[in-house]
Amino acid sequence: MGTNEHYFTRAKLSIPGGVNSPVRAYGSVGGTPRFLVSARGAYVTDAEGREYVDLVSSWGPAILGHAYPSVVKAVQDAAAKGLSFGASTPGETELAELVRERVRVGDQCAVEKLRLVSTGTEATMTAIRLARGATGRDLLVKFAGHYHGHSDALLAEAGSGLATLAMPGSAGVTAATAAQTLVIPYNDLAAVRAVFAEHGPNIAAVIVEAAAANMGVVAPERGFNRALAAIARENGALTIFDEVLTGFRVGPAGWWGLEAARVVPDGAGWQPDLFTFGKVIGGGMPLAALGGRADIMDRLAPLGPVYQAGTLSGNPVAVAAGIATLRAADAAVYAKLDAVADRLSAAVSAALAAQGVEHTVQRAGNLFSFAFAATAPRNYADVKAQQAFRYAPFFHAMLDAGVSLPPSVFEAWFVSAAHDDAAVSRILDALPAAARAAAA
Ligand code: PLP
């Protein structure tokens, strides 16, 4: 096997930037990206044979830990029966039924129908087309710092890789497309009211991350999501609740489930019109979905006039991984994720405090990150104002000690149920030196 350096140099000759998704290039933290060759439980192994405790978890899907036995077996069994049929399979319905059963609180079923696609980007892109088709309106409202994938309409002031690269949007998006996306500050109901006051009759939908986690974690303020949906409804617009990242990770019914069940206060009694899911729903395979009100979902082809399709949509191997993951993700798994998140976020905070590093702990369920700021950021402008330069030395000190963090301060940390005491101890042991590096 070669070194990470060797693989990176070689990759750059045949792949733009050497990566197939920008944040993987370590652009904001510097250094050589680790080329991974295997992963098991809470650990990943690089091309040099070095093992790291993983807090990226494939950017979310790996809630059970990597290569979870029942998921791997389901994938192997499905693959042995054929990789792709381009026809309907019983598994697709089983997965849709599982989601319907989960994304409900009491009698309130929030996902009446579900359409499977392959990526979160496709899910949000289709949800927008559907909202436009259903309302006959053109405009879309999104929040600065929220990332919904890389379709043209959604790249304005998005978080995640664009935040990491300090890009306001993307070249190649036409001015006409950009003009149809109205970007407003997060957690600001006055801004929501103002945009609807000015453009209300032309707004098809507002799209919002259920809890923002692509500019670091920034939780919605109390009652924000419910009020947002109410304002949209009063104006005849739809609410698209993007749970690609939070769905089936922060709880069995995602972030909406936490609000509906009053785990998060002041959320009960409201329901988005459409949801988007990704990541966990595919258990690490390329699978995502959009779902919600049947009367809206039934406007998709072949029943309705809004077109959407995919050669690999509902791929049987990916569906098998999704079913096995959701079946294994029981209450004990969610309790474990919460406990590990509690322990790690407190320990990181204590280590930073011990070195006098100003920071806030950003939490949304079991998702967390840290902002190098005196007060907790509540929107993208706040997030960008932090002392982001402190993250790179922190990141590299952790990496040197065998802990793989997201290579950007604008990303959430992802724990799994496989993060046992041994894995957590390795992270805790690495913290003092990393906090010293951040303080320097
Ligand atoms: N929506 C949210 C909230 C996300 O976090 C992401 C990806 O990180 C996406 C959409 C896009 O998903 P994908 O990367 O599968 O296209």
Q: How far apart are CA 248 and CA 262, in angstroms?
A: 17
The bridge status of strand 139-143 relative to strand 181-184 is: parallel
d(CA 65, CA 91): 23
Pocket test for ligand 1, best of 20, 128, 148 (most atoms within 8 A of CB): 148
pLDDT of residue 108: 83
Residue 166: pLDDT band (50, 70, 90) is low
Averaged pLDDT for residues 218-246: 97
Q: State how beta strands 51-54 and 367-371 pair.
A: unpaired
Distance CA 372, CA 361 (A): 9
Ligand 1 pocket, residue 26 CB under 6 Å: no
> Is 142 an active-site residue?
no
Pocket test for ligand 1, best of 117, 209, 214 (most atoms within 8 A of CB): 214
In this structure, of 265-274, 380-389, 428-437, the range with the lowest mean pLDDT score is 265-274
Q: What pLDDT was estimated at residue 320?
A: 98
pLDDT of the residue at 113: 98
**Separation of first and last alpha carbons in the chain:** 36
Give the tens place of pLDDT for each residue, 267-293. 677 899 999 999 999 999 999 999 999
**Cβ within 8 Å of residue 192, ≥6 positions away:** 141, 184, 206, 227, 228, 231
More confident residue, 345 or 159: 345
Give whole-number Cα distances, 22 to 25, 26, 27, 144, 370, in Å: 6, 8, 8, 20, 21
Residues 69-90 have pLDDT tens digits of 999 999 999 999 999 999 999 9
Which of 13-22, 101-110, 412-421 is least confident? 101-110
Three-class DSSP labels, 191-259: HHHHHHHHHHHHEEEEEEECCECCCCCECCCCCHHHHHHHHHHHCCCEEEEEECCCCCCCCCCHHHHHH
Residue nearest to atom 1 of ligand 1 (CA): 148
Residue with tokens 């699978």: 287
Mean pLDDT of the chain: 96
Residue 71's closest CA among 40, 36, 45?
A: 40
Does ligand 1 have an atom closer than 6 angstroms to the CB of 146? Answer: no
Q: What is the mean pLDDT of residues 45-74?
A: 98
Map out the domains of the chain as residue ranges. Answer: 1-38, 70-328
Query: What's the pLDDT score for residue 169?
Result: 79
**Minimum mean pLDDT range among 50-59, 76-85, 148-157, 426-435:** 148-157
Annotation marks residue 242 as catalytic? yes
Residue 235 in this model has a pLDDT that exceeds 90: yes
Q: Is the pLDDT of residue 410 over 80?
A: yes
Identified catalytic residue from 46, 54, 242, 382: 242
- For the cut 80, the answer to whether the pLDDT of residue 208 exceeds it is yes
3-state secondary structure 250-306: CCCCHHHHHHHCCCCCCCCCCCCCEEEECHHHHCCCCCEEEEECHHHHCCECCCCCE
Per CATH, domain 70-328 is 3.30.710.10: no
Distance CA 259, CA 266 (A): 7
C-alpha–C-alpha distance, residues 377 and 394, integer Å: 20
Is 147 a catalytic site residue? yes
Helices (H) and strands (E) counted in the chain, each on its own, are 15, 15
**Ligand 1 pocket check for 214: Cβ under 6 Å:** yes
pLDDT at 175: 87
68 pLDDT more than 70: yes
| 408 ligand 1 Cβ < 6 A | no
Catalytic residue among 43, 113, 142, 279: 279
